[in-house]
Amino acid sequence: MKISKMLFNEYTNNSDYDAGTNRLYKGCFAKQESAGIFAFTPLGTKLVQYIEQVIRKHLDKVDYLEVLLPLVQTADLWKKSGRYDKYGSELFRLSDRNNQSFVLAPTAEESVTELVNYFVNSYKNLPVTVYQIRPKYRDEMRPRYGLIRGKEFIMKDAYGFYETEDQMKEEYLKMKQVYIDIFEELNLNVISVATQDTGEIGGSFSEEFVILDDIGEGLVYKDNDKYTFNDNGTQGFRYIELGHIFCLDQVYTHNTSFTTKDNKREKFFMGCYGIGITRILSALLMKNKYIPSSFDFYFIGSENLYNQLSLNYKILYDDKSGNPFERMEAIGISKRIIERSNYIEYLTATEKFTFTDIEKLLTHLESNYAI
């Protein structure tokens, strides 16, 4: 693929933006349409899809079930749970031509509870965890930091339904380990911070998965080998939340019921678990030099060598004028091939090789790079 055939243009860093947002634009991963709303380019879309693929792999491994829930939800459903008023001005509210009230979903606890309650009638079907990967909406008063705080964002939200409080807590810890595994594969240095402040979601306790960064709006404090939200007099570190898991108890399940082993009717216990996919994209650009890519190599050089490499590999060929090395760093593909005047460089994240002719390069790639 040639960069000249993609949606790509030149960008000069803006001193008013953080590093992640500048790289978002310099690597042409996205374009802002209005405050807090973005369109993703082919490069940005591929990166979003990669993050989704990693998340799906880990959730499917533990038999969680993917669903699609409505983005437009009835206001009556939210009024029933009490969140229609509690959520405040950040909730997008709209009406149809018949003046029926709806919301654009920032989360889906109400909708998923209705779904699961309809299909699950017995303890034999529990525990069950479903998830979706969908856009979400929040009417932010002041969208900022690129993809970190937007009005439209992509999120993985999962919801678990349980027979007992003990089962809820056990599955909560299981999901916590899934999150640890996801962030480890994404190569993000995330810390988890437990809290009993569950905000507008509700429940008894929760845990946030955060990265430390100066643009963060909250503070965490180091307490020996752990972090806490409680100000203990030590230095505070700013953080950005990437994920959040909750034990919800029975906040959303008052109108549910299933049959227990003793043939009684009981309400579900529940958990909810969110990961901000577009936030993760921004965090990768902010924290990591190298970014996961569907391309095998980034190539700077002649069209002749590009054509040869393309026979066996997926190549992103920088055939544009200007500074290809700046573009290479912004896009962040870890394996690079650079054709110089009398030799060829092959660079990885940890190694550098030099070849005097094309055949030696191709032999090396054939021996050391699995297609």
* 8 A C-beta contact, residue 275 and residue 210: no
* 8 A C-beta contact, residue 327 and residue 3: yes
Domain end: 233, 259, 287, which one? Answer: 287
The answer to the question of residue 2 being in a domain is: no
d(CA 297, CA 299): 6
The answer to the question of residue 1 being in a domain is: no
Q: Which long-range contacts (CB under 8 A, 24 or more apart) does 262-266 make?
A: 266/163
Global pTM value:
0.93
List the CATH number of the domain containing 321.
Answer: 3.40.50.800
User: Higher pLDDT residue, 199 or 84?
Assistant: 84
pLDDT at 370: 64
What is the mean pLDDT of the segment spanning 264-290?
Answer: 96
The answer to the question of residue 14 being in a domain is: yes
Same domain, 352 and 313: yes
Q: Judge whether residue 1 has pLDDT over 80.
A: yes
State how many domains the chain has: 2
Same domain, 122 and 104: yes
Same domain, 155 and 263: yes
| Distance, first Cα to last Cα, the chain | 17
Q: Residues 2-24: pLDDT tens digits?
A: 998 888 888 888 888 999 999 99
Q: Judge whether residue 35 has pLDDT over 80.
A: yes
Q: Residues 160-197: pLDDT tens digits?
A: 999 999 999 999 999 999 999 999 999 999 999 998 67
Question: Residue 198 — very low, low, confident or very high, per pLDDT cuts 50/70/90?
Answer: low
Q: Judge whether residue 371 has pLDDT over 80.
A: no
